[in-house]
Structure 1
Amino acid sequence: MTGASADAGARVALGIADGDAPETLGGSTEHAPATSAQASNGAAESGLILSLAIIPCPVTPRPIIPFRHPLRDVRVRVPASKSIANRELVLSAIADGRSRLDLGRLDPGDDVRAMRQALASLGYQVEWDQTFQVTVHGAETIPHATGPVHAAEAGTVARFALALAALADGETKVDGSARLRDRPLTPLVNALREIGATADGDGLPLTVTGPIRGGRVAVPGSQSSQFASALLLIAPRLERGLELEITGSLVSGPFVDLTIASLGKRGVKVDAPTLDRISVKPQKVKARSWEIPGDATAASYPAAAAAICGGAVTIENVDAHEIHGGQGDVRYFSLLEEMGCAVSRGRGTVTVRRVGPLQGIVANVRDCSDVFPSLAVIATQCETPTELGGIAHTRLQESDRIRAVADGINALGGRATAFADSIRIEPALLHDGVVDARDDHRVAMAFAVLGLQVPGVAIDGADSVSKTFPDFFAMLGELGR
C-alpha cells in the first residue's frame, strides 16, 4: 500500500472530507495495560472496527488513532536492512565487476538514498530503478576525488563515505545536516590521518585528502561501531592492507561482525580471531547479486504492535534466527519472548503473538540498542518494571535517545527514569498527550505504535520516519485490517 492510498483510505474510513480538520484529541483518558482478551471484548462490544491506525492529515503533531481490536494474524513486509544495504553499496562500488542489489520493492528510506547519492558524488556509477533494483558498476580504479558529499542525516553515510573518499587521490568535502554535524566523527578522522589522509577538521563539514595507503591503526569502540566498519569496508583496496585495533568497550559489536561477514561473502579474507584485532590484506572484492533481507530493527515496530495490542503479526522478509554475522537486532525477538510473547522463527519470516500478560525484563541491550525505544514502549504495558542498560552511546544518535524516550513516556503519564547508561520503566496508567520525537525516526515509530493502544497520542516529528521507513504509517494501516 502506498502512503497516498493509505491516506485516502483513512479519510474515507474515518468520515473526514478533504479539507476537514481532525477532531481535537482533548481530555485526559487514563489507560491501563489491557490483556489480549480484554482488547478482543472491547472490539466486540463496540461493534466498530477501524482498519487504519492514523488520521493522515498534513499537521504536526500527527495524531494516532488506536485499534479497537487485536491484530488479526496480519502479514507485513519491512524495508531492506539499512545496515546491510549501505555496506553492500560500498562494497559493490569497489568490487570487480557489476553487482545487482534487490532492495525488496519497498522504499528503503533517506539513509540508503543518501548512500547512493554519496557514491555518485564520489564518482561511482550507481543505477537505481523505481522498483528499488540497484546496479552498481564496480571501479577497477578508484575514481579521482570529486564530491562534495552530503550525508544528510545518515551517520553510516558520513562515516562510510568519509573513509571511501580518503581512498581517492585529491580533496573531497564531506558535510551533513546540523544534527549530523554534532555526532561523533573525530575517532575516524584521526584514524584516517594515521594511515595517510589529511583533514582540515575533526568533524563535519571537513575536507579530506587522500589517497590513504593503509597500515596499522586503532579506533575506540565506545561511541560507535561504525568507525571500525568504515575502515574495514575499504581495507581490501588499501595498498598496505589494514591492521585494526578496536580499543575500549565496543558498542553494537554485531554490526562489526556483520561488516566482516559482508566482506567474506565477497571473497575477502579477514583475520579476526577476536573483535579487538582485525587484519585485512590487499585483495580483490568480488561482485555479487542478491536480495537484501528485511531490516530487523524496522521489524521491531509491527512486532511491538502485536505485543502491545494483542493478536499476531508475521513479518514476511525478516529472519529472526540469531546467527554470527547476521543482524544483531534480531535479539529483540528473544527479549519479546522473555516479556510474554510467542515467537515463531521461519525461514526468512518471523511471527510474533501476544499470549498473556506482559512482564518486565532487565536486559543489557548494548549490542542491539536501536531496538530499545521499541522495548521501552512495550514496557509501559508490562505488569512489572523494566530496566534497559548499555545505551549511553544512544545519547549521541539522532537525538539524546534515552532522554527522548523517557520524556515521551512521562508525557503520557508513564513512569520512566533516565540514567546515564540506562532507562527504567515502571507500570503506570497512561493518558493522552503529545510526544516530541526530536525528529528521531526510532522514537517517532516506537511511540506511534504505543498510540495504537493508548487513546489520544500525537507525535511531533512524525515525518522523521522517512529516514528508514517511508511507508511506516501505511504499514500501521495494514496492521489494523
Structure 2
Amino acid sequence: MLKINPGNIRNATVSVPGSKSYTHRTLITAALSDGRCRIHNWLDSEDIRYTLDSLFQFGATIEKQPDGLVVHGRSGDMDPCDSPIYIGNSGTSMRLLTSYAALGKGRYVLTGSDRMHERPIQHLLDALQEMGVHAVSLNNDGCPPVEVMGARVAGGEAYINCSISSQFLSGLLLIAPYTEKGLKIHVTHGPVSKPYIDMTVDIMSQFGVEVVRDGYDYFEIAGGQCYRSGSYIIEPDASQAGYFWAAGAITGHSVKVSGISKSSTQGDVRFVEVLESMGCRVTLEPDGISVAGAKLSGIDVDMGDMPDIVPTLAVVASFADGVTRIRNVSHLKVKESDRLFAVINELTKMGISARSEKDDLVITGGVPHGAVIDTYDDHRMAMSFAVAGLRVPGVEIKNESCVEKSFPDFWKVFEGLYER
C-alpha cells in the first residue's frame, strides 16, 4: 500500500511513455508486414509484453534494441501453436489477436485471467464467423477463452456490433488486407471510442494500406495486400498524460506534458478541452500541452469516446463546484474492472456523492477526504486516485504495482511533481 502525501507541488514538466494503444496496433501490423520494421518509443509494459509474447508464439521474430524494437514481418504467414496463448487481462491484446489468429494455421486457443473470462467478445466472434472463420467461446458464454481455427480467410462482408468496444472493429480492419476477396464492414451498433478506430486506420495508412470509409458506419478494404515495412515512431500516450493534466487542475499549479500535440489522433488529448470547460487554463506549446488549475465548476460532458479518462475526470469532478454529469459510459463496466462501480465506490469512501443514472455517471463535487483506495487490480484506478492525494491528506493506494499494466514508471514520474 502506498501513501500519497500532499506535500509541496511545483509547476512541472513531465514526459509520459509511448501510447499503449498505438504500440499494440503497430506491433501487430509490423508482424503482418512484408519485412523489417523498426519501432521507436514503444511502451514496455505488462499489457504490451502479453502482445509481444503472443506474437512470438505465432512465430514472429522481434528484437529488442537500445533505440527500439525490430519486428521482422512475415507477410501474413504465422506458425501453428500447440499451447494456449495467455493474454492476462489485456483486453486490447485479446480482441486484436483473436482476429489475427484467423490468418494462422490450425487451432489457436486464446485465454487470460479470471477477469478476462468475464469480458465479452461474442460480437467479434459473430463477425468472424460471418467471414467463414471458426471462432467460438469455449465456455459458451460469449467470453474468453476463445478457439479460432486459422486458415485462408475469404473475406466478403461482415456486420459488427461495436456497442461494447471499438476494438472488435479494429481487429477486423487490421486483418482485412490479407483476406482473399477484401472486406466490407458494416457497423450495426455504436461504435463507442471512435478515436481508436481513427488510430487503427491511421496506422494502416502508415503501413501503406488505405481504407475507404463512410464515417463510422462502413469500411472497405481491398484484399490481397500486404503491409509495407518501414520505421515508425510511437507518440506519447494521451491517456497517461491525463493524470498529470488532472494534477495541474486540482492543485492550481501548471503541469506540462511534453511531446504531445493537440493534433494527435488519440481521442484522449481532448481531455484538455474538458478541463478548460471546467475552468482550467490550457496552453498549447510547440513541445507539449500545459494545464493550470483554477476554480473548478461541474460540467455536463459526453465521454463515450474517452472511456479511459473517465476515472481521472471523476476525481477532478469531486473537487469542482456543483454537479458533473459524465454521459455514455456504461461500457466502463467491462473494462479491467467494473470501473463504473469502482469509481462510485471509491469516491463515496472519500465523502463524495457519486451515482450511476442509466448510461451516465453523476458526481456532486465537495470536499473530499482521505481514504484507503481499492484499485480492483485496475491500473487506471490507482493512477487516477493517486492524483486526489496531491490535494488531500490520507489517500492510500492498495496494490500500487498494478500500474505495471500500462505505465511501469508512473510512481517515479509522479514523484517529479513534488518540490525538492
Sort the TM-score into its range (normalised by shorter chain): over 0.9
Give the match for residue 317 of structure 1: 259
Match of 1:262 among 170, 179, 203: 203
C-alpha distance in structure 2 between counterparts of 1:387 and 1:141, whole Å? 45
Which residue of the partner structure matches residue 242 of structure 1? Answer: 183
TM-score, normalised via structure 2 length? 0.95
In the alignment, what sits opposite 2:242? 300
Cα deviations across residues 143-183 of structure 1 (Å, max 9, x unaligned)? 23225321111001001111111101211111111111111
1:389-468 → structure 2 map (5 Å cutoff): 389-468=327-406
CA contact (8 A) 1:121 1:148 kept: no
Which secondary structure does the structure 2 equivalent of 1:190 belong to? helix
Q: Which residue of 1 aligns with 2:134?
A: 198
Deviation at 1:348, TM superposition (A): 4.8
Alpha-carbon distance, 1:200 to partner: 4.5
Which amino acid in structure 1 is aligned with residue 72 of structure 2? H
Write the distance in 2 (CA, Å) between the matches of 1:306 and 1:122. Answer: 43
Match of 1:353 in 2: 292
Give secondary structure in 2 for the equivalent of 1:320. Answer: coil
Matches within 5 A, 1:26-175: 61-67=1-7, 69-72=8-11, 74-103=12-41, 108-129=44-65, 131=66, 133-146=68-81, 147-175=83-111
* Residues 1:338 and 2:277 are matched in the alignment: yes
Q: CA deviation at 1:267?
A: 1.3
Q: Which is higher, the Rg of structure 1 or of structure 2?
A: 1
Relative to structure 2, which stretch is displaced further, 341-350 or 260-269?
Answer: 341-350
Instruction: Report what 2:231 is aligned to.
Output: 289
- In structure 1, runs of 5+ residues without a counterpart are 1-60
> In structure 2, do the counterparts of structure 1 residues 454 and 132 end up closer, same or farther at CA, with 3 Å as the change threshold?
farther
In structure 1, the residue corresponding to 2:397 is in which secondary structure? strand
User: Partner letter of residue 273 of structure 1?
Assistant: D
Taking only aligned residues, the RMSD between alpha carbons, in angstroms, comes to: 1.5
1:420, 1:152 → 2: CA distance?
Answer: 30
1:388 and 1:273 mapped to 2: Cα distance?
Answer: 28
Instruction: State how many pairs are aligned.
Output: 412
Query: Which secondary structure does the structure 1 equivalent of 2:321 belong to?
Result: coil
The runs of 5 or more residues in structure 2 that have no matched partner are: none
Instruction: Report whether the alignment pairs 1:272 with 2:210.
Output: no
Question: What residue is the counterpart of 1:210 in the other structure?
Answer: 150
Instruction: Report the CA distance between 1:302 and its aligned residue.
Output: 0.8
Q: What is aligned with 1:25?
A: none
The Cα shift of 1:286 comes to 0.9
Letter in 1 for 2:282: V
Q: 1:271 to 1:348 in 2, by over 3 A?
A: farther
What secondary structure does 1:178 align onto?
A: coil
List per-residue Cα deviations over 1:13-41 (Å, max 9, x = no partner): xxxxxxxxxxxxxxxxxxxxxxxxxxxxx
Contact 2:133 2:150 in 1 (8 A): yes
CA contact (8 A) 1:122 1:149 kept: no
Is the 8 Å Cα contact of residues 311 and 381 (structure 2) preserved in structure 1? yes
Question: 2:34 & 2:134 partners in 1: Cα distance?
Answer: 28
Matching residue's letter, 1:378: V
Q: Which moved more, 1:452-461 or 1:418-427?
A: 418-427
Alignment partners' CA distance in 2, 1:141 and 1:447: 42
Contact 2:319–2:368 under 8 Å retained in 1:
no
Q: Secondary structure at the match of 1:143?
A: coil
Deviations 1:349-377 (A, max 9, x none): 111112x2111111011011110111110
Structure 1 residue 97: deviation in Å? Answer: 1.3
Measure how far apart 1:418 and its partner are: 2.3
Letter in 2 for 1:172: Y
Structure 1 residue 141 displacement after superposition: 4.9
Alpha-carbon separation, structure 1, partners of 2:382 and 2:38: 32
**Hey, what's the Cα distance between the residues in 2 that align with 1:246 and 1:264?**
20
Residues 415-451 of structure 1, C-alpha deviations (whole Å, 9 max, x = no match): 1122331111112222221111211111111001111
Identity among equivalent pairs (%): 35
Contact 1:98 1:288 in 2 (8 A): yes
Runs of 4+ in 1 over 6 A off after TM superposition: none
Are the aligned partners of 1:110 and 1:467 in contact in 2 as well (CA < 8 Å)?
yes
1:381 aligns with 2:323: no
* Aligned-partner Cα distance in 2 for 1:339–1:128: 43
Normalised by the size of structure 1, how large is the TM-score? 0.83
Q: Is the 8 A contact 1:185 1:203 kept in 2?
A: yes
Give me the whole-angstrom Cα distance separating, in 2, the residues matched to 1:349 and 1:183. Answer: 35
| Letter of the 2:296 counterpart | L
Instruction: Give the aligned partner of residue 220 of structure 1.
Output: 161
